Structure formats: structure tokens, C-alpha cells
């Protein structure tokens, strides 16, 4: 089969010494970022995105994506350590691990088993998801290559409405964030006519609002400010962080007993990740829910049940890998982190989407092969370096915070070497912080900023092609079906609200 040949070529690319060095560096940085509570994987990838420009210049875009994705894989594993050992989620996707990971480590005094169970589940989940990605992404890209502007526009609309319809936050707030993202993306020259829009006579913003400083601000600085408010983290309970061979054997035995649940959760997590807007965080909660629902030991959940660790962890990793499928095959990011990775592709001069599989085969398959290697590498690093990772938690907040802010400044400045981008980053840092406080979702905002230009381009290309006839947008059966699905997804929150209202009230109403 062609896929195997491509994958073998991909391994040849990924195994080149320079790629392995950057994969190692990415995974290590990701592990450190994952362990630190004040900084998320998405922020880490966003902050280091501009560094990838230098890596691209030196070694090419394949090395750059391997490095950035390595950060993501590392962060997926790293968040586990703090959740289990310190009861502090290092990452949003490791929150679900607090329910059973910490009790197993502390109350049942089995920190080694809790950690190895989690690492093993991560590895198996990612492996299954990467296998699915290997076969599914190329097939999807083969189909997508035949899409015209109307179908692509419908896919973008569907990705936006998925964020509104299936998001856990207020649908109206999600809608607002999408509108805001599209508006920000529209600032500057019109992509078709070249007329300036929303520039208010300022030549500095004629080229538009750069999305890299915006993303670094929203995620990096916004998160730092949010965690500064919660800085009472100070007290950290010490639990043994050593891993022994016995723990690994016990973990493997636990995995053997739960292999069906792990495989099912990984497959479901993967498909969940494929849906736009659903990265590892949503996947981990889905995994916990499924593991609990179908467990024979429901009463043990919350008290240190291993299924409560393996279930969310394998689903989180599988979702993270799954979120790369629409990014690679359709040019639609499946999660905030893949939106940032996609921004990287634009910066390196690549156009994500089906043509990537044809025009940049080596890049795509080298990247896919690196996902296998990245997870294996991170898994081994975790087994060997847990005590070291736990020690990172003891680096004082007062040193880490300014350092992360300086790195954010470097990231914002590096793309265009302009201080105005640093100020944009700061402004969006404050906006991101406030939006977090007001419970506005940031993922729709970032996805809309990244996709805004392309959505408009496909819409106007479709209309130009049809001489201005809007029915071209539902002219083909596929475009019509995607649009109908998008519309149906918009109705989901409404149906949910109506159903909740019809159900008889139980318990006391919350205080006004």
C-alpha cells in the first residue's frame, strides 16, 4: 500500500539527526511546560512559534513542525506529573486526573503506579490515534482535493458552528468570539480588491493584525496574569516521585486488565479530536465519563481507581492527535493548539489542506512519523525523569513569571521585528486575561482569527465564480449537506435549553 511506503519515507525524514535533536528538545520543553502550572501547552507552542522561523531557515519546515509538535506531546505527558504528585493540574487536560490520580498517589500511597498507569495510557492512546491518523488523514485529503470554494467555505462555517454548538461554554459568547476573530482577521487590505478596511487612516495596520502576537498574548500572557491572581499555589505537598521497575510492571498489568476500555476510549477520543474545537481537554473529560459509565467499580471512582486515570489520559492524547487530522487534510484546525501549529505552517510558507499531501509529501509524512517517535521518546523520558520534572515545580514563581513574559516578548517581536507587535501582544494579553475571567472561550477567537482570511477568500471566490449568485454556496450536494449540518449544530444549544426548561426543576434554584 502507498501509505506504508509514504510512512517509511516519513520515518527516514524524522529519524535524521537534526530532526531527532529538535524532537527531543521539543518534547523536553513540552514536559517542562506541562509541569509548570502557569503555562499551558497551547501557550508554549504559541510562545515558541516565532523561534520556529529560525529553525525553518536553518533546517526546513519539517524540523520546525517536529519541534513544535514535540512541545505539544511533551506537555500532554508533563501535565500528568503535577496533577498526580501535587494535586495541581499542570495543564487543562490533566484536570480529570485529579479525581483519581492524586487519591491513588496520596491516600493509597501508590504514586509510582499512578504515574506509570497514566504514561502507559497516554502512550497507547497516542499510538492508536496516530495509526488512525496515518490511514485516515491521507484518505480524507484525497477526497478534499476535489473540493471547490463553496465546499471549503461550508467546511469553515461548519468548524465555526461546531465551536458554538458543541462547546461547553455559553453559545452566545462563542458566537461573539467567532465574530470578533473574523473582524480582527478582516483588518487591513481587502484580500480581493486591495482596499484598506478598518484601518482608520493608520498605515501601521494596513497589513492587518498579526495573529502570532495576538495568540501569544491571549494564551501566554493572559494565562500568566490569570495564574498570578491564583498565586496562592505556594504550598506544595511532597509525595515520593521516584519510579521503579515494579511500578512499570504493575502499570502494565493494570493496562492489560483495562485494555478494551483504553482502546475504545482512544478510538472515541480520536474521533472527538477530529471535530473542530475539541482538543485534549474536552477529550479527557469525555474519557473520564466513559470510563466511569462502563466500569464495574463505579463506587471506586474519585478514590484512586486506575480506570479513572487511564480513561481520561488515553482519550486526551488520542484527541490531541485527532485534532491534527482536519488541520492536515482540510486546513481547518481541530483544537487551539493545532490552530497555533497551523499558523506556523502559514509563516513557513505552507498552505495547510489537501494539497499539502501532494506538494509537500516529505513534510507531511515526516511529521506523521515524528508523532510516533515523539510519543515514544516522551514516554521514555517520563519514566526516567519524573523526579527531575517534579523538582521543576520548586522553581520560584517570581523567577519563572518574568522569564515567561520575556520569552513572550521575544515571540511577539521575532515575526516582524517590530515593537508594535509586542504592544499588540500585551494588549491581547490583558484582553485574554479579562475574557478568561468573564468565562469567554478563547478557542473560537483564535480559530476565527486564523481562518478568517481563508473563509472570506473562499466565499468571495465562490461568488465571483457564480457571478454573485448566493445559491452557489449550497449548489453542490456536499456543500448543501455541510451547510445543513452547520445550521443544525447552531440549533443544538437552543434544543438543549428547551429540553432543560421542560424538565421539572429539581433542588433549589441558585441564588440571584
Partner 1 sequence: MRPYQVATAAFFILIAAVAMFDTRSGALPDPTGTAPGGLKSGWYPFWSAAIVAAAAGVVIFQTVTRPQPVEGAFKDRGSLFAVAQLVVPMIVVVYLMGEKLLGFYIASGLYMAYFALFTTRYRWYWALAAGLITPIALFLIFETGFRAIFPKSFLYPGLPF
Residues lying near partner 1 in the complex (CB under 8 A) are found at 51, 54, 170, 172-173, 175-176, 178-180, 182-183, 186-187, 190, 192-193, 195, 197-198, 200, 221, 224-225, 228-231, 396-399, 401-403, 405-406, 409-410, 413-414, 417, 419, 422-423, 426, 430, 433-435, 437-438, 440, 452, 456, 459-468, 509-512
CA distance 81 to 249: 19
CB of 464 to partner 1, least distance (A): 4
* C-alpha triplet 301, 305, 306: angle, nearest 5°: 140
Three state DSSP letters for 231-285: HHHHCCCCCCCCCCHHHHHHHHHHHHHCHHHHHHHHHHHHHHHHCCCCCHHHHHH
Which CB, 61 or 354, lies closer to partner 1? 61
Q: 445, 218 in Cβ contact below 8 A? A: yes
| Cα dihedral sign, 97-68-339-121 | negative
Compare residues 465 and 475 and give the one whose CB is closer to partner 1: 465
Q: Shortest approach of partner 1 to residue 440 CB, angstroms?
A: 8
**Smallest separation, CB 497 to partner 1 (Å):** 10
Shortest distance, position 229 Cβ to partner 1, whole Å: 4
Contact predicate 363/59, CB 8 Å: no
Of the pair 361, 457, the CB lying nearest partner 1 is at 457
* Minimum CB distance to partner 1, residue 401 (Å): 7
Residue (of 327, 346, 328) closest to 208 by Cα position: 346
Q: Which is nearer to partner 1, 35 or 462 (CB)?
A: 462
What one-character DSSP code corresponds to residue 510?
Answer: P
Give the separation between CA 92 and CA 312, rounded to whole angstroms: 12
Give me the phi and psi of 196, to 5 degrees please.
-75, 140
Question: Looking at beta carbons only, is 349 or 510 nearer to partner 1?
Answer: 510
Compute the C-alpha angle 131/274/329, nearest 5°: 75
Question: Smallest gap, in angstroms, from Cβ of residue 451 to partner 1?
Answer: 12
State the angle between helix axes of 361-392 and 111-144 in degrees (0 to 180), rounded to the nearest 10: 160
Nearer to partner 1 by C-beta: 260 or 399? 399
CA nearest to 120, candidates 31, 249, 252, 28: 252
State in angstroms the smallest separation of the CB of 91 from partner 1.
Answer: 21
In the complex, the smallest distance separating the C-beta of residue 36 from partner 1, rounded to whole angstroms, is 16
Q: How far apart are CB 371 and partner 1 at their closest, in Å? A: 26
Min dist. Cβ of residue 53 to partner 1 (A): 9
Q: Closer to partner 1 at the Cβ: 182 or 286? A: 182
Nearer to partner 1, 359 or 469 (CB): 469
- All three cell numbers of 178, joined, read 467567532
Q: How many residues does the chain have?
A: 512
Q: Which is nearer to partner 1, 208 or 336 (CB)?
A: 208
Minimum distance of partner 1 from residue 404's CB (angstroms): 11
Q: Which residue has the cell 515520593?
A: 240
Separation CA 355–CA 361 (nearest Å):
9
Write the CB contacts of 153 (distance below 8 Å, at least 6 apart in sequence): 455, 458, 459, 462, 473, 479
In contact, 487 and 162? CB cutoff 8 Å: no
Question: Which candidate, 346, 340, 385, 364, places its Cα nearest to that of 80?
Answer: 385
Considering the complex, state which of residue 254 and residue 479 has its C-beta at the smaller distance from partner 1. Answer: 479
Q: What angle do CA 499, 505, 506 make, to 5 degrees?
A: 120
Quick one: 71 or 286, whose CB is closer to partner 1?
71
Amino acid at each position: 500500500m502507498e501509505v506504508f511506503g509514504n510512512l517509511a519515507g516519513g520515518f527516514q525524514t524524522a529519524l535524521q539527526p537534526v530532526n531527532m535533536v529538535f524532537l527531543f528538545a521539543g518534547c523536553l520543553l513540552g514536559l517542562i511546560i506541562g509541569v509548570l502550572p502557569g503555562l499551558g501547552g497551547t501557550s508554549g507552542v504559541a510562545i515558541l512559534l516565532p523561534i520556529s522561523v529560525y529553525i525553518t531557515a536553518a533546517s526546513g519546515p519539517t524540523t520546525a513542525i517536529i519541534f513544535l509538535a514535540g512541545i505539544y506531546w511533551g506537555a500532554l505527558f508533563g501535565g500528568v506529573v503535577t496533577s498526580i504528585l501535587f494535586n495541581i493540574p499542570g495543564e487543562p487536560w490533566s484536570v480529570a486526573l485529579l479525581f483519581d490520580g492524586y487519591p491513588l498517589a496520596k491516600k493509597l500511597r501508590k504514586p509510582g503506579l499512578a504515574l506509570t498507569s497514566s504514561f502507559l495510557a497516554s502512550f497507547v492512546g497516542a499510538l492508536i490515534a496516530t495509526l488512525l491518523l496515518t490511514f485516515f488523514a491521507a484518505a480524507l485529503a484525497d477526497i478534499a482535493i476535489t473540493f471547490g470554494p463553496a465546499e471549503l467555505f461550508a467546511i469553515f462555517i461548519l468548524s465555526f458552528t461546531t465551536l458554538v454548538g458543541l462547546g461547553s461554554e455559553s453559545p452566545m459568547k462563542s458566537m461573539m468570539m467567532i465574530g470578533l476573530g473574523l473582524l480582527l482577521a478582516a483588518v487591513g487590505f481587502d484580500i480581493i480588491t486591495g482596499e484598506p478596511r478598518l484601518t482608520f487612516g493608520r498605515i501601521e495596520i494596513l497589513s492587518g493584525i498579526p495573529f502570532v502576537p495576538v495568540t501569544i498574548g491571549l494564551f501566554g500572557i493572559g494565562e500568566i496574569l490569570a495564574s498570578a491572581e491564583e498565586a496562592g499555589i505556594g504550598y506544595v505537598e511532597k509525595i515520593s516521585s521516584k519510579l521503579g521497575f515494579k511500578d512499570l510492571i504493575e502499570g502494565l498489568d493494570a493496562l492489560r486488565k483495562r485494555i478494551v476500555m483504553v482502546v475504545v476510549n482512544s478510538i472515541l477520543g480520536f474521533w472527538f479530536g477530529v471535530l473542530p474545537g475539541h482538543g485534549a481537554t474536552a477529550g479527557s473529560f469525555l474519557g473520564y465519563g466513559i470510563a466511569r459509565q462502563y466500569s464495574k467499580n463505579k463506587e471506586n471512582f474519585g478514590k484512586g481507581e486506575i480506570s479513572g486515570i487511564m480513561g481520561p489520559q488515553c482519550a486526551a492524547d488520542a484527541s490531541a492527535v485527532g485534532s491534527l487530522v482536519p488541520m492536515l487534510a482540510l486546513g481547518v484546525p481541530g483544537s487551539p493548539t493545532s490552530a497555533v501549529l497551523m499558523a506556523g505552517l502559514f509563516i513557513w510558507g505552507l498552505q495547510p489542506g489537501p494539497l499539502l499531501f501532494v506538494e509537500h509529501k516529505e513534510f507531511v509524512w515526516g511529521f506523521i512519523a515524528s508523532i510516533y517517535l515523539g510519543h515514544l521518546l516522551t514516554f521514555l523520558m517520563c519514566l526516567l525523569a519524573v523526579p527531575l520534572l517534579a523538582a521543576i515545580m520548586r522553581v520560584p514563581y517570581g523567577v519563572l513569571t518574568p522569564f515567561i513574559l520575556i520569552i513572550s516578548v521575544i515571540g511577539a517581536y521575532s515575526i516582524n521585528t517590530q515593537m508594535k507587535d509586542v504592544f499588540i501582544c500585551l494588549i491581547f494579553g490583558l484582553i485574554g486575561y479579562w475574557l478568561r475571567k468573564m468565562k469567554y472561550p478563547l478557542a473560537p477567537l483564535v480559530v476565527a482569527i486564523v481562518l478568517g482570511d481563508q473563509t472570506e477568500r473562499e466565499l468571495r471566490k465562490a461568488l465571483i465564480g457564480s457571478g454573485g449568485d448566493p445559491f452557489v454556496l449550497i449548489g453542490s450536494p456536499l456543500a448543501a449537506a455541510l451547510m445543513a449540518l452547520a445550521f443544525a449544530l447552531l440549533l443544538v444549544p437552543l434544543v438543549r435549553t428547551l429540553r432543560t426548561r421542560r424538565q421539572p426543576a429539581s433542588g433549589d434554584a441558585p441564588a440571584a
